[in-house]
Amino acid sequence: MSSSSLRMMAVAVGLLIVSASASAHHSAAIFDPNKRVTVTGIVTEWFWANPHCLLSLDVKGADGQVVKWVAETQAPPNMIPYGWSRQSFKAGEEVTITVEQARSGKPVGRLLRAQFPDGRTLLPGGSAGAAAAGAQP
C-alpha cells in the first residue's frame, strides 16, 4: 500500500472515530425550552455521576396517583462550582423542582432549579443556569 493510501485510510478512520463520538453525546433537543414545569415531590434517588446527574422524585398528582419524575443536570464537575455535591439531595426529603419538560410529555426534564422547604435554592451553571434565572418555582 502506498503512503498516500495509508494517509487517506488514516484520515477516514479518524473521521469515523470523531463522528461516532460526536453522535454518542446527546443534546438538550429532547427538552422543550418553552414548556417549564414545576413540581414538588419526595426524593427517591440522587445519582451523582458522569455524564449527567439524575434526580428522581415521587410527585403526587392532582388525582392522588404518584408519578416518578426524573430530572437531568450536567456532569458533576460542571455542577460543583455552583454549590452542588454528592450530598445535595437525600432520599426522603421534599424538594420543588422546575424543569424544561421532555417534548414527549413524559415526566422527564432538564433541571433548571431546585428549591428546598427551608428556602435554599440550587441552580445549575451554564445555559441551564441562565435559563433558570427566569424560572419561577
Domain spans in the chain, listed from the N-terminal domain onward: 28-132
User: d(Cα 58, Cα 107) in Å, to the nearest integer?
Assistant: 10
Domain 28-132, architecture per CATH:
Beta Barrel (2.40)
pTM above 0.85, yes or no: no
User: d(Cα 49, Cα 134) in Å, to the nearest integer?
Assistant: 27
**Cell representation of residue 11:** 484520515
pLDDT at 8: 42
User: d(Cα 134, Cα 51) in Å, to the nearest integer?
Assistant: 26
The letter for the amino acid at 38 is T
| pLDDT by residue, tens only, the chain of 137 residues | 555 444 444 333 333 333 333 444 455 688 999 999 999 999 999 999 999 999 999 999 889 999 999 999 999 999 999 999 999 999 999 999 999 999 999 999 999 999 999 999 999 876 666 556 565 54
115: which residues sit within 8 A by CB, 6+ positions away?
A: 95, 96, 97, 121, 122, 137
**Cell representation of residue 98:** 422546575
